[in-house]
């Protein structure tokens, strides 16, 4: 599991987030990023470092464990893409088989 996976976080534009692999068979892939921001596609069994340059809400998941709702939320500055981020969270949650309240619980902590 990633050190920071499944933990909501608030960052500032330009901050770097490092996903550290501490357990095999995971990755980190962005699902929703603010307009103008670059998404990321972490390889399986590798950590990834991403720089979050744009303000907004970033939603990410672990591809092989999306069914477990293994996903997270990072808020960078203002939540300028709140609605589209919420839509991404709702979509991931609807597709998940278990832990239905996990990601929505993180998203509830996003400050508007
Ligand atoms: Cu995983």
Q: What is the pLDDT of residues 67-111, one digit of tens each?
A: 999 999 999 999 999 999 999 999 999 999 999 999 999 999 999
- The CA 6 to ligand 1 mean position distance, Å, reads 10
Q: What's the chain's length in residues?
A: 112
* pLDDT the model gives residue 1: 40
Which pairing describes strands 48-52 and 15-19: parallel, antiparallel, or unpaired? Answer: antiparallel
CA–CA separation, 97 vs 53, rounded Å? 33
- The CA 62 to ligand 1 mean position distance, Å, reads 5
User: In CATH terms, is domain 9-107 a member of 3.40.630.30?
Assistant: no
- The CA 58 to ligand 1 mean position distance, Å, reads 17
- The CA 46 to ligand 1 mean position distance, Å, reads 11
- Supply the pTM of this predicted model: 0.91
- The CA 11 to ligand 1 mean position distance, Å, reads 23
């Amino acid at each position: 599991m990633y050190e920071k996976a499944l933990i909501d976080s608030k960052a500032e534009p330009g901050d770097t987030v490092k996903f550290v692999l501490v357990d095999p068979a995971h990755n980190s892939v962005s699902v929703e990023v603010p307009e103008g921001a670059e998404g990321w596609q972490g390889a399986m069994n590798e950590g990834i470092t991403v720089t979050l340059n744009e303000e907004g809400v970033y939603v990410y998941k672990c591809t092989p464990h999306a069914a477990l709702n293994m996903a997270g939320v990072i808020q960078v500055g203002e939540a300028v893409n709140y609605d589209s981020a919420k839509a991404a969270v709702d979509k991931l949650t609807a597709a998940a088989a278990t832990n239905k309240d996990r990601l929505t619980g993180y998203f509830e902590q996003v400050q508007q």
